[in-house]
Amino acid sequence: MADSKVSASILGVFLLAAAAVLGYQLSDAAIRFKQLDRSVTVKGLAEREYPADVVIWPIQYIVASNNLEQLYGELDRQAESIRAFLLLGGIEPGEISDSPPAITDKSAQQYGSNNGAEFRYTALRTVTVYSTNIDRVRSVMEGLSQLGRQGIVLSGNEYQSKPDYLFTRLNEIKPGMIEEATRNAREVAQKFASDSDSQLGKIRKASQGQFSIADRDKNNPHIKQVRVVSTVEYYLSD
Q: Are residues 202 and 237 in the same domain?
A: yes
Last residue of a domain, one of 129, 164, 199: 164
Domain boundary pick from 112, 141, 164: 164
SS3 39: strand
Q: Name the least confident of 155-159, 196-200, 206-210, 223-227.
A: 155-159
Are 200 and 120 contained in the same domain? no
H/E element, 160: none
Do 66 and 43 reside in the same domain of the chain?
no
Q: Are residues 60 and 160 in the same domain?
A: yes
pLDDT tens digits, residue range 57-80?
Answer: 999 999 999 999 999 999 999 999
Same domain membership, residue 232 and residue 133:
no
- Specify the DSSP element, H or E, that contains 218: none
In this structure, the answer to whether residues 176 and 234 fall within a common structural domain is yes
**Which domain CATH number covers 178?**
3.30.110.170
CA distance 64 to 124: 9
Q: CA angle, 131 as apex, 127 and 134 as ends, to 5°?
A: 115
**pLDDT per residue as tens digits for the range 100-122:** 999 999 887 656 555 567 889 99
179 is in which domain, residue-wise? Answer: 39-53+167-238
- Same domain for 159 and 184, yes or no, is no
Whether residues 75 and 130 fall in one domain? yes
Q: Note the pLDDT of residue 23.
A: 46
Alpha carbon distance 154, 79 (integer Å):
12
Q: How far apart are CA 160 and CA 102, in angstroms?
A: 14
Task: Check whether 134 has a pLDDT greater than 60.
Answer: yes
Residue 218 and residue 183 share a domain: yes
The better pLDDT of the pair 16, 235 is held by: 235
Amino acid at 183: R
| Total tally of structural domains belonging to the chain | 3
Q: Name the DSSP class of 161.
A: T
Q: What's CA 70's distance to the chain center, in Å?
A: 45
Report the predicted TM-score, pTM, of the whole model to 2 decimal places.
0.75
Q: pLDDT (tens digit, 9 = 90+) per residue, 145-194? A: 999 999 999 987 666 678 999 999 999 999 999 999 999 999 999 999 89
